[in-house]
Amino acid sequence: MRLRSLGAVLLVTIVLAACASSPRRAAQGEFVERELQLDGRTHRYQVFVPAGSEDGKRPVILFLHGSGERGDDNRSQLAVGLGPHVRAHAADFPAIVVFPQAPADSEWNQLVDVTLAQLDAATREFGGDPDRTYLTGLSMGGYGVWELALQQGYRFAALVPVCGGLVHPRRPSMAVAAVAGEADPYTAAAQRLRGTPVWIFHGARDASVPVDYSRRLHAALQAAGARDARYTEFPEADHNSWDPAYAVPELWDWLFAQRQANAFRQQ
């Protein structure tokens, strides 16, 4: 009896050890809270970690929210745009998604260093692929996409700005600082980003960020000979063009096919 009991204990121990050492396979992806210290301040952010595990590194998306989601609750940035889409597809969304939160009354052009530090930390912790790292954002975050891409474009294999722009006369603090001194910011941005795949989205009835901002960016990219510059305009959409944008199935096939190594070879 003692031998049988000992054998049973050993068997249970082996099984538990095997479970502990095997990769974690969650039924669906999950959002986790993280924070980092930079310049003496604590900056909190959220990360979506995909379900299960896979061999090799996983793609990474950095998402920049709009003005209404600013604050310090580390929750609001999940409420609009990419967060609800990812949550609705948590069982099969394949990418790590990093969700920074801008403090109240701040702009993304003031947060480049901390945002990229959060991206780097999440990429290291969750096994992200630097060659398949993508940047998207909406409204204020759409401006942030152009800002980060112009300052640190080598980091991103593709860009998906939604209802963004480069200039904003009614809110000059949101303007993209990287081209603020240019006589023609559209041409300057297009020349610098012509080698990076980009898919722009905007609503034709947008009363907050004029649709002409995205039209001019797309035209400038085409004139610059951009290797892959796409533009989708939703005729009936107002400022909320992010819900139809992230619901376009072809977007995700296109996005996950991009690799940063290809962008370097084509520039």
Q: For residue range 217-263, what is the model confidence (pLDDT) as tens digits?
A: 999 999 999 999 999 999 999 999 999 999 999 999 999 999 986 44
Contact partners, residue 30, CB within 8 Å, separation at least 6: 48, 49, 90
Q: Is residue 59 part of a domain?
A: yes
Check whether 202 has a pLDDT greater than 50: yes
Q: Is 189 part of any domain?
A: yes
pTM of the predicted protein model: 0.87
Q: What is the pLDDT of residue 15?
A: 34
Strand runs (DSSP E) across the chain, as ranges?
30-38, 41-49, 58-64, 96-100, 128-138, 158-162, 198-203, 229-234
Residue 55 lies in a domain: yes
In degrees rounded to 5, what are phi and psi of residue 210?
-55, 135
DSSP state letter for 76: G
In a domain, 12, yes or no: no
User: Which amino acid, one-letter code, is at 100?
Assistant: P
Number of domains in the chain: 1
Residue 221 placed within a domain: yes
The pLDDT of residue 14 is 31
For residue 152, give both structure tokens.
Answer: 């640190």
Mean pLDDT of 72-77: 97
Share of the chain above pLDDT 70, in %: 86
Residue 32's domain spans which residues? 27-266
CA atoms within 13 A on the CB side of 224: 24
Whether the CB-CB separation of 29 and 103 falls below 8 Å is answered with: no
- 22 — phi, psi (to 5°)? -80, 155
Q: Please report the pLDDT score of residue 13 as a whole number.
A: 34
Residue 10 pLDDT greater than 50, yes or no:
no
51 Cβ contact list (under 8 Å, min separation 6):
25, 26, 27, 28, 29, 90, 91, 92
Query: What is the percent of the chain with per-residue pLDDT over 90, rounded to a whole number?
Result: 82
Q: For 127-150, what is each residue's pLDDT tens digit? A: 999 999 999 999 999 999 999 999
Q: What is the pLDDT of residue 12?
A: 33
Residue 16 lies in a domain: no
- 137-183: per-residue pLDDT in tens? 999 999 999 999 999 989 999 999 999 999 999 999 999 999 998 99
Classify residue 19: in a domain, yes or no: no
Mean of the per-residue pLDDT values for the chain?
89
pLDDT at 153: 85
What does residue 230 show for φ and ψ, rounded to 5 degrees?
Answer: -115, 150
Single-letter code of the amino acid located at 137 = G
Mean pLDDT calculated for residue range 198-203? 98
Q: For the domain that residue 140 is a member of, what is the CATH number?
A: 3.40.50.1820
The owner of tokens 């398949």 is 132
SS3 19: helix
Residues 97-113: what's their mean pLDDT? 96
| b/e 94-125 (16+ beta carbons within 10 angstroms → b) | ebbbbbbbbeeeebbbebbebbbbbbbbbbee
DSSP assignment letter at 41? E
| Whether pLDDT at 76 is above 60 | yes
Instruction: Flag whether 197 is in a domain.
Output: yes
Q: Is the pLDDT of residue 193 over 50?
A: yes
